[in-house]
Structure 1
Amino acid sequence: MNILEKRNNNWESIDNCESINKGYQFLNKYNVLYKLRQCGAQAELYLCEYEDELYVVKLYRELIKFDKKIIERLKWICSLDENELLFAQLTENTTRVSHNAYNLEVLLALASLERYTMETVYNLARIEGKFEAASEAASSDPEKAMDLLLDAHKLSEKILRNKEIMWSCFNASWYKSRLPKNQSKNGIEYLYVLDDVKDHFADRRKGLEYMLAPFERMKIEEWKVQLEEVINEYAKIHDMPPL
């Protein structure tokens, strides 16, 4: 995979990004297949092809003076773009292959798990930033502090909601070729026997839940409930409506 990052004035000037459609060529060689998505207000991302190789082209709309936090965010978005390109390649190839299509489906499921992991870490970092800003505003601007706490709460809900969506699709793919332990099939009873010598961590889970263990250790559900209590207590102190 190749990532091209150039600024407009060092690359090529484009008057209107809306004119960039399938078939458009950057530098007269990178042929646009489709637009991936927008990176905030700063840039557009396009999946392109050149000499049978795929490229992600990041087109900046204008020169921007970045501060440290924005640079870090853009670096993280780039890592998600790599995951998105992987999705595009796998999805495209599932329609082309005549054999082993299920292998690609499993790889897509793994890519979705990796994407959820990256997004969770990123959203947790955003939550921490909301808390820091709320702490600074608490004494002088309670309403702003409350808004920041509510933003953090919404992000925690997003993390949990994305997990449910990802996990449902993940299981739908994997359970085409395997079943949870001790599940009957076609009238046959199956009994999973644990290893009597070694204690395998994954064996103590009925299905694939062991893959969610890192997120379970974070106890995000419990933490969200505690955050709700803090928000309601803060709202009561400052005569604001509760969550």
Structure 2
Amino acid sequence: MHLAGRAAVANDTLVDRLTADRSRARHNRHNLDVFSSIAALFAQNLHLLLDLARVDDELRRAESLAREGSVRSAVACVDLALDLAHSIRRDRNDTLRRVLDVWAVSRHLKTPKANGRELLHAFDDVKDHLPDRTTDMSYLILRQLLLPLDEWFERLRSVRNHYADAHGVPVRNDSLNWAAYGAHE
């Protein structure tokens, strides 16, 4: 995680430089906006890693507190871990929305259906890559969407609720809905 932290600092420096350059630029500001949006995607990925490390820390703390008999504190740590998962999802979705706003200026987004016609992807014999197949640019966050965080969240919440209920602490009934983004939220 040390490396992710250092990379996040370097990425922040890059964003600061891009912002300064944009304020001085007379032309091609959109190019700098695109570079900044790419840096935002990197930042979000780095923060995901750092936040997952925080989740791990909270769960370790919860385990230790449960062993000591500090029920409410242990449950609070698990709740913080679950809340961090929600925060990671919100951050990912907010970042994607900002990126799409920037890229929509110069990229013609594909529409799955328009005027009674459906998008037909024509494969070529040289390349076949995911961005060609998606209409909503979800390929930018695909690796995150593939993480089994909904299953993890449900299992952790179930264990948390079982422990909490056994000790007279209120249960929680939220879900993560990890794969929801953009129009799919």
What TM-score, normalized to structure 2? 0.79
Q: What is the Cα deviation at residue 226 of structure 1?
A: 3.2
How far apart, in 1, do the equivalents of 2:68 and 2:119 lie? 63
**Contact 1:153–1:228 (CA<8 Å) still a contact in 2?**
yes
SS in 1 for 2:136: coil
1:107 paired residue among 30, 35, 45: 35
How far apart, in 2, do the equivalents of 1:241 and 1:190 lie? 49
1:119 paired residue among 47, 50, 56: 47
* Number of aligned residue pairs: 169
1:234 paired residue among 158, 163, 171: 163
Match of 1:92 in 2: 20
Q: Residue 133 of structure 2 aligns to which amino acid in structure 1?
A: R
Residues 72-105 of structure 1, C-alpha deviation per residue, up to 9 Å, x if partnerless? 65x6544322111111111111121111111100
Unaligned runs of 5+ in 2: 173-185
**Taking every aligned residue pair, what percent have the same amino acid on both sides?**
25
Q: What is the Cα deviation at residue 170 of structure 1?
A: 0.6
Q: Residue 181 of structure 1 aligns to which amino acid in structure 2?
A: K
Match of 2:148 in 1: 219
How far apart, in 2, do the equivalents of 1:211 and 1:103 lie? 18
Match of 1:169 in 2: 98
Work out which structure has the larger RCO, using CA pairs closer than 8 Å and 6 or more positions apart in sequence.
2
Match of 2:84 in 1: 155
Unaligned runs of 5+ in 1: 1-71
**Contact 2:109–2:135 (CA<8 Å) still a contact in 1?**
yes
**Contact 1:182–1:192 (CA<8 Å) still a contact in 2?**
no
What is the alpha-carbon root mean square deviation over aligned residues?
2.5
What TM-score, normalized to structure 1? 0.62
Q: Higher Cα Rg: structure 1 or 2?
A: 1
How far apart, in 2, do the equivalents of 1:184 and 1:99 lie? 35
SS in 2 for 1:139: helix
How far apart, in 2, do the equivalents of 1:160 and 1:191 lie? 29
Residues 44-71 of structure 1, C-alpha deviation per residue, up to 9 Å, x if partnerless? xxxxxxxxxxxxxxxxxxxxxxxxxxxx
Q: Residue 33 of structure 2 aligns to which amino acid in structure 1?
A: E
How far apart, in 2, do the equivalents of 1:169 and 1:86 lie? 18
